Every structure is written in C-alpha cells, then in structure tokens.
C-alpha cells in the first residue's frame, strides 16, 4: 500500500486535521520499514564508552548539586542548585529506559552500577521497567488494555490532563511508602505481596494493567533491588532524626520536580488516540512522537534519546546515542513527503495544545 499522504507535514495542516481513525488504520509502510532496517545496521551496538561517562557525570552533577541545595544558606542559589540537580538526576534516571532494552547479558555491569548509584537511591530500580516496558513495544499489545504505558489521553475529558501531570508530585512519597511499608508487609503476608507486585511494581500509567509474577533471571534481581530499596527508604526516614527535616524535604522537592518533568514528557510521547485496538507498526509509529532538531529544549525534557520516541518504536533496541544519526539518515533518504516525516513535531507546547484541543472535542 502506498503511504497515506495526509500524514505529510507539507500538506498544509492535513495531518493535524486528519481524523484519528485515519491515522490508526494506516497499513504498514514497507519501504520505510526496510529503510529503517537497512540504513542503521552499522550503528546498532551500544557503546560503553558513551554510556558510562554520561551516566556517571549526570549522577555526580546531580548529587553534588543536591548536596549544595541542602547546604547553602542563600535561597536563590539553593533553588538554582536544586534545578540543576533535578535535570541532571532526571537524565541519569532515564537510563532505566535503555536498561530495559538491553539484550540478555549485555551491559550487565552498567545495569548493576546504575541500580546502585541511581535506581535504588531514587527508589526506582530497574525491575520497575524491565519486563514491563517491553509490553509497550509488542505489536499486538501496544495501545491495548494490556499495555502498561498507554492511556487514550487525547480521547479523555479535559481535566484528565492536568490531573495526569499533577499526580506525579506525590511519586516520591508513594515510592518511600511502597519500599518502607509495603515491601516488609508483603514479606509477611503473601496476599499483600501479590497485590503490591500486580499494581505497584511497574512504571505504569494504565490503571487496568496487572503485572504478572517475575520469572527467570528477573526474579533474583527483584529480590535484591527491593531489599536495597527497603533499606534505603528507611535511611531516608531515619535521616530526619539525625539531620532534621530540611535535607529530606529538599530531596523530595527535587525528586518531585523530576517526576513532574517525566510525566510531562510522557504526556507528549504519544498522540494517545487509540482506544484499545491492535495497530500496525506504522500506525504505532505515527501515534508516537519525534521532536527532532533544530530545537534544543527537547534535549532537556526528553534526554537519553527520548526526543526520538517514534523512531525508537521502529527499532526499540537501537542505543540512544545512535538515534540522532539514524534520524538524519532516514530523514535524508525518505524526505519530507514521507510517512516518516509524519511523526515529527515541533515541541512540547505544540503537542500539549494538540492533545488538549482533542480532549475538548470529547463528548462522553
């Protein structure tokens, strides 16, 4: 089938005004999928010399800035340091997405180091993405009730968007409660353990998603990561008695900011126009979002390759550092009149406005 041309950004706004049903029923653009496969083979391997410095510097800058925000007496300087800490730790945290796509046995030491330095200290160890996030990339489950990371936000009521973002403010407190209280309760009472695992063990936005019990290599990782999260959560609680409330409150404020920025990124990662039907790979791609250069802001709110989220859905195992080059090759080869160009968007505000306008049309 010839690619549907209403998806071209050269079509005087036709893509913006096209009905969601037209975009979601599109058949696979085989020429685009072949180009994705053929043009990116030589850049498909993760490079440890990029992963390690990026993660370590991001975490180091984040923790140093957080310490500064806690210790300095000047309020303006403390806020500035807190902002630097939030953005640096946000970048470090998003390596969880890369870890969830590593092939079995690949980058094992990096994954362990990330959990020790970032995942457990931020109470978001990698098991909360490993095994669950890949469901979001399965052709028959993307956008369905089984997808933990999909909600038809564009088809929901307008008030659902601010609620979706603001609920993230409470994520740090909820994570402390999960690891400090629910984990030990689950160790004593198996029904509590089963409930916590099903409902609160994945970074999911779909309230209907129920996670299956861990299996294979993931099972022992869950045990040690939850044990580490339990111990660290009580260190955080105990810090109040040793150092007072200020360090914990500043840290919670920084982590809440991280959670809100991530929720905003999630809000614009897709167009959210599917109501649960299976979609072709091309339709999933067009329901996802790229925010390519020349803008720089996306590199801040969608770091570690996530500004190329639609492209990532075409090749989930492609390392983040290769996505910019992959995008350049595909854009040059396929051109602006192609289906590929239909997933490119100018920025966050444009996307939020688009989704918000869509909710205004809902009649339920």
Model-level pTM? 0.92
Mean pLDDT of 331-340: 92
pLDDT given for residue 104 in this prediction: 85
Rounded CA gap, 258 and 123, in Å? 13
For residue 129, is pLDDT > 70? yes
For residue 274, is pLDDT > 80? yes
**Cβ atoms within 10 A of the Cβ of 1, count?**
9
Burial 20-59 (b: 16+ CB within 10 A, else e): beebbebebbeebbebbeebbeebeebeeeebeebbeebb
Rounded CA gap, 233 and 235, in Å? 5
The predicted-structure confidence for 205-254, as pLDDT tens digits, reads as follows 999 999 999 988 899 999 999 999 999 999 999 999 999 999 999 999 99
Rounded CA gap, 22 and 328, in Å? 27
CA quadruple 101, 105, 110, 112: dihedral sign:
positive
Mean pLDDT of 286-298: 94
Task: Please identify which residue in the block is written with the tokens 């939030």.
Answer: 86
Is-contact 335 329, C-beta < 8 A?
A: no
Rounded CA gap, 260 and 309, in Å? 18
Mean pLDDT of 74-95: 98
Q: Where are the beta strands (DSSP E) in the chain?
A: none
Burial 312-348 (b: 16+ CB within 10 A, else e): bbbbeebbbbbbbebbebbbeebeeebbbbbbbbeeb
Q: Give the bridge partners for 270, in sequence order.
A: 288
Percentage of the chain lying above the pLDDT 90 cut: 84
Residue 16 — very low, low, confident or very high, per pLDDT cuts 50/70/90?
Answer: very low
The predicted-structure confidence for 159-171, as pLDDT tens digits, reads as follows 999 999 999 999 9
Rounded CA gap, 325 and 226, in Å? 37
Is-contact 290 307, C-beta < 8 A?
A: yes
Is-contact 127 225, C-beta < 8 A?
A: yes
Instruction: Locate 57 and state its tokens.
Output: 């510097």
Measured N-to-C along each axis, helices 75-93 and 246-267 cross at an angle, to the nearest 10 degrees, of: 50
**Cβ atoms within 10 A of the Cβ of 160, count?**
16
- Mention every residue, 6+ apart, whose C-beta is less than 8 A from residue 312: 288, 305, 306, 318, 323
Rounded CA gap, 315 and 298, in Å? 20
pLDDT given for residue 20 in this prediction: 61
The predicted-structure confidence for 35-61, as pLDDT tens digits, reads as follows 999 999 999 999 999 999 999 999 999
- Mention every residue, 6+ apart, whose C-beta is less than 8 A from residue 31: 3, 334
Residue 110 — very low, low, confident or very high, per pLDDT cuts 50/70/90?
Answer: very high
Rounded CA gap, 222 and 228, in Å? 10
Task: Please identify which residue in the block is written with the tokens 């989930």.
Answer: 316
Instruction: Locate 89 and state its tokens.
Output: 């730790």
Across the chain, which distance is largest between two alpha carbons, in Å? 67
pLDDT given for residue 277 in this prediction: 86
- Mention every residue, 6+ apart, whose C-beta is less than 8 A from residue 268: 289, 291, 345, 348, 351, 352, 355
pLDDT given for residue 24 in this prediction: 67
Residue 13 — very low, low, confident or very high, per pLDDT cuts 50/70/90?
Answer: very low
pLDDT given for residue 278 in this prediction: 87
- Mention every residue, 6+ apart, whose C-beta is less than 8 A from residue 340: 29, 32, 35, 330, 331, 334
Residue 295 — very low, low, confident or very high, per pLDDT cuts 50/70/90?
Answer: confident
Residue 189 — very low, low, confident or very high, per pLDDT cuts 50/70/90?
Answer: very high
- Mention every residue, 6+ apart, whose C-beta is less than 8 A from residue 5: 11, 337
């Amino acid at each position: 089938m010839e690619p549907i041309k209403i998806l071209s950004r050269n079509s005087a706004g036709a893509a913006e005004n096209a009905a969601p049903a037209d975009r979601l029923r599109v058949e696979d653009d085989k020429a685009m999928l072949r180009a994705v496969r053929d043009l990116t083979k030589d850049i498909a391997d993760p490079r440890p010399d990029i992963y390690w410095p990026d993660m370590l510097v991001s975490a180091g800058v984040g923790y140093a800035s957080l310490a500064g925000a806690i210790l300095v007496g000047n309020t303006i300087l403390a806020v500035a340091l807190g902002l630097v800490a939030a953005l640096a730790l946000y970048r470090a945290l998003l390596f969880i997405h890369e870890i969830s796509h590593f092939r079995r046995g690949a980058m094992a030491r990096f994954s362990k180091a990330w959990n020790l330095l970032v995942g457990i200290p931020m109470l978001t160890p990698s098991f909360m993405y490993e095994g669950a996030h890949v469901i979001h990339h399965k052709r028959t489950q993307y956008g369905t009730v089984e997808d933990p990371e999909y909600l038809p936000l564009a088809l929901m009521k307008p008030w659902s968007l601010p609620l979706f973002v603001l609920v993230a403010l409470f994520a740090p407190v909820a994570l402390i409660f999960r690891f400090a209280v629910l984990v030990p309760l689950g160790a004593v009472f198996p029904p509590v353990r089963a409930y916590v695992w099903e409902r609160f063990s994945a970074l999911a936005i779909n309230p209907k998603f129920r996670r299956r019990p861990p299996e294979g290599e993931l099972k022992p990782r869950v045990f040690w990561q939850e044990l580490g999260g339990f111990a660290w959560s009580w260190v955080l609680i105990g810090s109040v008695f040793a150092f007072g409330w200020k360090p914990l409150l500043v840290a919670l404020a920084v982590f809440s900011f991280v959670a809100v920025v991530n929720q905003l990124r999630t809000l614009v990662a897709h167009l959210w126009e599917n109501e649960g039907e299976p979609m072709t790979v091309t339709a999933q791609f067009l329901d996802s979002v790229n925010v390519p250069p020349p803008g720089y802001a996306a590199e801040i709110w969608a770091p570690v390759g996530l500004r190329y989220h639609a492209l990532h859905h075409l090749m989930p195992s492609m390392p983040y550092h290769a996505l910019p080059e992959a995008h350049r090759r595909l854009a040059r080869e396929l051109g602006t009149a192609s289906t590929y160009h239909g997933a490119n968007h100018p920025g966050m505000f444009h996307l939020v406005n688009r989704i918000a306008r869509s909710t205004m049309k809902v009649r339920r």
